[in-house]
Amino acid sequence: MKLLITGGAGFIGSAVVRRAIAQGNEVVNLDCLTYAACLENIASVADHPAYAFEQVDICDAAEVARVFASHRPDAVMHLAAESHVDRSIDGPGDFIRTNVMGTYVLLEAAREYWQAQGRPEGFRFHHISTDEVYGSLGDHGKFTEDTPYDPRSPYSASKASSDHLVRAWHETYGLPVVLSNCSNNYGPYHFPEKLIPVVILNALAGKEIPVYGAGANVRDWLYVEDHAEALLLVLQQGALGRSYNIGGENEARNIDLVRMICALLDEMRPDAAPHDRLITYVTDRPGHDLRYAIDPQRISTELGWRPSVTLEEGLRLTVEWYLANEDWWRPLQARAGVGERLGTKA
């Protein structure tokens, strides 16, 4: 199968690219290389004969159409997005442009290409989205695929908009789509502005570990390699027009997550223990959703998918990876905004 993967130089997209090639697929990686992109993430496949890279902006209709016409993919996996909630608070415009307009451009290009090919039955447009479209949970309950949308940040509102567009292109034009909404990912190649890498890298540097508010916000953590596997399964076996929630069955309060990472570092770097002395509570994010939790019943019963690691196992793999890959993360810390407190301009 030839896959057109957008955002394949990002955190999750690169895991999908690596796994798709390992499974024997051909991959065209379409990415415009924003501040969040790292070609090093896909260095292991860059010279593979089944891999091609196109530095293209998904908002550029002519270039996107050229990529479809020249590569003739069997399916699209759409991951390109602006993805950092704090940046969406300070500057929502980029999120509306890429996540909403870019998805529209990609849908139109996919539709024209699919129609010109005679509407092949096997074609798929897989839209990758987030559980943040469902808003915030209280202490109980979980998000199912039927939970009403209630996005509360510019990021989640832009992703919810893109989900609506994808469903509309299916209902109106018959475009063969599948959707997935996943919980917070973590693992190797996670860009160093996100919570888990910030905790690891600040702790290693002996710097304060910032925890928003009281650290009571709960996330359902999903190991990125498990997510990549689930995404390829949804693409290959998901029912047309259907969406799948993907979660790690690993809920944790932020403060407990941070303490787990500190305990791992105490074990691996005992000279600097205890690392939790660096925990510092900072002003909360405006509109910070309290709790996300995924009910993964549909993907587990219909597609037989389950996460392969617990949070404890995945965090151990992640901390070990950051300790072994300073060459990857050190240069990224110099990129604009990394290491700064963002998301305060509400």
Ligand X SMILES: NC(=O)c1ccc[n+]([C@@H]2O[C@H](COP(=O)([O-])OP(=O)(O)OC[C@H]3O[C@@H](n4cnc5c(N)ncnc54)[C@H](O)[C@@H]3O)[C@@H](O)[C@H]2O)c1
Binding site for ligand X (CB under 6 A): 6-7, 9-13, 31-34, 36-37, 57-59, 79-83, 98, 102, 128, 130, 159, 182, 184-185, 191
* Nearer of residues 36 and 211 to ligand X, judged by Cβ: 36
Is-contact 151 132, C-beta < 8 A? yes
**How far apart are CB 57 and ligand X at their closest, in Å?**
4
Q: Minimum distance between the CB of residue 82 and ligand X, rounded to whole angstroms?
A: 6
> Which CB, 6 or 161, lies closer to ligand X?
6
Residue at shortest CB range from ligand X: 10
Q: Are 73 and 3 in contact (CB under 8 A)?
A: yes
Q: Please identify which of the residues 131, 229, 289, 295 carries the catalytic annotation.
A: 131
Active site residue 131: yes
The residue among 300, 224, 218, 228 whose CA lies nearest residue 253 is 218
* Catalytic site residue from 104, 113, 134, 155: 155
Q: Which pair of structure tokens corresponds to residue 241?
A: 């027009």
Min dist CB 242 to ligand X, Å, is 18
Is 132 marked active-site?
yes
Task: Say whether 27 sits in a helix, a strand or coil.
Answer: strand
In whole angstroms, the minimum distance from the beta carbon of 32 to ligand X comes to: 4
Q: Which is nearer to ligand X, 11 or 275 (CB)?
A: 11
Phi-psi region of 13 (alpha: psi -120 to 50; beta: other; left: phi over 0): alpha
Q: Which is nearer to ligand X, 25 or 184 (CB)?
A: 184
Q: Which residues pair with 54 in a beta bridge?
A: 30
Rounded CA-CA distance 251/19 in Å is: 26
- The catalytic position among 86, 132, 220, 229 is 132
| Closest residue by Cα to residue 284 from 337, 217, 201 | 217
Supply the minimum distance, in Å, between the C-beta of residue 320 and ligand X: 20
Cα angle for residues 194, 197, 199 (degrees, 5° grid): 100
Identity of the amino acid at 253: R
User: Can 186 be counted among the known catalytic residues?
Assistant: no
Shortest distance (Å) from residue 118 CB to ligand X: 28
C-alpha–C-alpha distance, residues 205 and 247, integer Å: 31
Question: Contact 185/292 with Cβ under 8 angstroms?
Answer: no
**Contact between 105 and 131 (Cβ < 8 Å):** no
Nearest CB to ligand X, comparing residues 230 and 278: 230
Please say whether the beta carbons of 109 and 161 come within 8 A.
no
- Give the residue with the Cβ less far from ligand X, 182 or 338: 182
Q: Which residues are catalytic?
A: 131-132, 155
